[in-house]
Amino acid sequence: MRLSLALLTACALAPWMGGFQAAASAPPASPLQPGQVWTLEALSADGEQFLTTLRLNGGAPQLHNGTATYPADRGTLLLDQEHTSLIALDLADARSGGLALACAYIGPLEGEVFDGVLAVTTLNALPSMLETALAVASVTRTPQERAEASAELRLGRCTLRRQTPTDSAGR
């Protein structure tokens, strides 16, 4: 996989740290669309459960070297269709000293549910933990392999699910 970790981190953290504003151009067909709402359910290596909602902003994503960055209220979703990867970052609590959640998925980009590898960490440790999560997601082929590798490396598991309008209306 050729995702640049420095680029990935810069794109993900830029909205939170007053970073660059790239010119937006039309993105390719995508499972992500501005204005969507995504739920991130996660279980850490220590058994801690997380449930968070990421509301994508209404504007077009920022594009940089094939990665589309979709800003959200609590973080960012990153999509690299060429390398079939999707990363959801919840950075809201990490900005005030809490933990960041990073859900890394590599595989087919069809559908509304994506099961991935979870990194739970501080902002300072996020780049290396995310790199490890992406490595696990890229080399494992079955859910069992992914679970075993994640456990060995103290990573968790996560599910990113797009909410349908009826889901949103009920909450």
pLDDT, one tens digit per residue, over 30-39 is: 899 999 999 9
pLDDT of residue 84: 93
pLDDT of residue 29: 64
State the Cα–Cα distance between residues 42 and 133, nearest whole angstrom: 13
Q: Where are the alpha helices (DSSP H) in the chain?
A: 5-13, 126-139, 143-152, 165-169
What token pair was written down for 20? 């660059």
State the Cα–Cα distance between residues 159 and 42, nearest whole angstrom: 6
Q: Is the pLDDT of residue 157 over 90?
A: yes
Q: Is the pLDDT of residue 102 over 50?
A: yes
Across 94-110, average pLDDT: 94
pTM: 0.81
pLDDT, tens only, 10-67: 444 444 333 434 434 443 468 999 999 999 999 999 999 999 999 999 999 999 999 9
State the Cα–Cα distance between residues 16 and 22, nearest whole angstrom: 15
Across 107-125, average pLDDT: 94
- Asked if 65 and 7 count as a contact pair (C-beta separation under 8 A), the reply is yes
**Separation in Å, CA 57 to CA 27, 137, 142, 159, 165:** 15, 27, 33, 21, 16
